[in-house]
Amino acid sequence: MILETRPSPGAKIRVSGGGRCNLLPSIAAPEDFHTSGSERAMRNILLSWPLAEVRSFFEDELSIPLKVEATGKIFPSSDRPLDVVEALLSECRKRGVEIRTKCRVVSVRNASSGFALGLADGAPVRAKRLVLATGGLSLPRTGSDGGGYALARALGHEITTTFPVLVPLTTADRAWLTLPGLSLPVTLRAAREGRTIAQRSGSFL
């Protein structure tokens, strides 16, 4: 069962990648990622479903043609995020998944043999296993409104203090108006535990 707060699932997929759905990176390794928690746990999670298998899932099982762009990012060949949403929903229906939309979870607690979920409108739901996939606080209109933090906290998880990462820079100087959308290759270096960690990413203006 999927409990979806929005009228229809996949809102964040539809706006990702500038509206074209940046589905996957073409190359990824555990060394590309950083965590303040257990590095071994992070590595195990990343290696549990290798990138090649994830790509095969979308291309071979969901029949979504993909393309690799010069940036190394993978998009659907159609540049239509809706193709991805529809394929995922079709797979859910094929596997007998019940999808309940406009359904907001307001509480969760450990119960005998699983979890008990309280809904804003409707009878409680019990589940043997629970996946919290609520997003963070980045885009409230897609459902990522921070509500998942309270649910995780109720289950005993520690929540790291959040802060904005991508924020707009505003200026009245017209000389800067040509910069929006500019992407530059950069190298970020951070020292941790006496060693240097290098991570390549893009700097967007």
Whether the model clears a pTM of 0.85, i.e. scores above it, the answer is no
Which three-class secondary structure state does DSSP give residue 198? strand
pLDDT digits (tens, 9 = 90+) for 119-178: 998 889 999 999 999 988 888 888 889 999 999 999 999 988 888 777 777 788 888 888
And the tokens for 176? 């800067």
Q: Are 78 and 21 in contact (CB under 8 A)?
A: no
And the tokens for 25? 């990176």
Question: Predicted confidence band at 187 (pLDDT cuts at 50, 70, 90)?
Answer: confident
